[in-house]
């Protein structure tokens, strides 16, 4: 497991920081860089798993979002319990043996998948609700890919390196260990019955299912990891098909913040420092 990775800084425990994340407004915990980027304060619902009295933490002690770079630092948290809050980006990664304890077919959610996609059980009910709503809206979605192991991601990344060179591949594909798909909670959506992969569309976000997802997915707990025009924050090119399940409560908070999921999670769930 990739737990207990430090990010330098003072000796705050993860518990302290999670409690600090429960304060009613986000700016207090963001640090100066992020605080400037959003209109303060926005309503920040307390995630359901944050209970107990809220303590205060020194706002200056939490690191600002790092600029995009390529490192292999261990991701902070346990994928089995922190799958909603772990930051996986071009810097932080899971280990080769990190995998969800349990995975189930997305078909359990009544959604089509040609490739036998699997997800963590926690996402099934909301995925079913999302799919039902997309059908009702005349914008039915299907699943292209979901869980990918470290080894599968290595294959995918190698493919893109062969096609377009490593430098370009790094902007459109995650190096092994760095993919949110390894958590079992990230999904690549497509249009139901659409023979084309979403990445073969000029902009899948402009198709009926893609536009519906952008507007409504967060209501069902899914957030768009790599929105358009945010590459300097997300470190990846726009991917209108790639959503990560974080649960309805957290998805609502991320949506309300106006931040990308990477920025929001980094600021709100920094994990143990110096523990």
Tell me which residues touch Zn ion (CB under 5 A): 188, 242
Q: Are 237 and 171 in contact (CB under 8 A)?
A: yes
Kindly tell me which of 182 and 273 has the beta carbon lying closer to Zn ion.
182
- Name the minimum Å distance from CB 218 to Zn ion: 17
Nearest C-alpha neighbor of 58 from the set 93, 23, 102, 90 = 23
- Name the minimum Å distance from CB 71 to Zn ion: 21
Closest residue to bound Zn ion by CB? 242
Kindly tell me which of 131 and 242 has the beta carbon lying closer to Zn ion.
242
Kindly tell me which of 30 and 141 has the beta carbon lying closer to Zn ion.
141
- Name the minimum Å distance from CB 243 to Zn ion: 8
- Name the minimum Å distance from CB 238 to Zn ion: 12
Answer left, alpha or beta for residue 247, where phi above 0 means left and psi between -120 and 50 means alpha. Answer: left
Kindly tell me which of 64 and 172 has the beta carbon lying closer to Zn ion.
172
Kindly tell me which of 16 and 188 has the beta carbon lying closer to Zn ion.
188
Encode burial over 201-226: b for 16+ CB neighbours within 10 A, e otherwise: beebbebebbbbbbeebbebbbbbbb
Q: Are 222 and 130 in contact (CB under 8 A)?
A: yes
- Name the minimum Å distance from CB 173 to Zn ion: 9
Q: What angle do helix axes 27-37 and 261-268 make, rounded to 10 degrees?
A: 150
- Name the minimum Å distance from CB 93 to Zn ion: 16
Kindly tell me which of 178 and 242 has the beta carbon lying closer to Zn ion.
242
Q: What share of the chain is helix, strand, coil (3-state, %, to 5)?
A: 40, 10, 50
- As a three-state string, the secondary structure of 12-42 is CCHHHHHHHCCCCECHHHHHHHHHHHCCCCC
């Amino acid at each position: 497991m990739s737990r207990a990775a430090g990010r330098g800084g003072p000796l705050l425990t993860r518990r302290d920081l999670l409690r600090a994340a429960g304060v009613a407004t986000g700016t207090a915990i963001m640090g100066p860089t992020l605080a400037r980027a959003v209109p303060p304060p926005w309503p920040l619902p307390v995630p359901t798993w944050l209970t107990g009295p809220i303590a205060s933490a020194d706002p200056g002690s939490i690191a600002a979002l790092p600029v995009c770079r390529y490192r292999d630092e261990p991701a902070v948290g346990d994928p089995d319990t922190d799958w909603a809050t772990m930051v996986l980006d071009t810097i932080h990664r899971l280990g080769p043996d990190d995998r969800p304890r349990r995975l189930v077919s997305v078909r359990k959610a009544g959604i089509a998948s040609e490739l036998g996609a699997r997800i963590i059980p926690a996402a099934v009910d909301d995925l079913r609700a999302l799919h039902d709503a997309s059908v009702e809206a005349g914008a039915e979605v299907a699943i292209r890919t979901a869980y990918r192991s470290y080894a599968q991601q290595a294959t995918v990344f190698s493919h893109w390196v062969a096609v377009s060179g490593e430098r370009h591949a790094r902007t459109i594909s995650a190096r092994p260990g760095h993919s949110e798909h390894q958590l079992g909670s990230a999904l690549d959506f497509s249009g139901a019955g659409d023979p084309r992969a979403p990445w073969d569309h000029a902009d899948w976000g402009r198709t009926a299912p893609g536009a519906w997802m952008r507007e409504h997915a967060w209501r069902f707990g899914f957030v768009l990891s790599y929105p358009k025009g945010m590459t300097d924050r997300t470190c990846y090119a726009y991917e209108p098909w790639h959503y990560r399940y974080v649960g309805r409560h957290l998805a609502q908070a991320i949506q309300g913040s106006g931040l990308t999921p990477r920025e929001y999670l980094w600021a709100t769930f920094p994990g143990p420092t110096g523990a």
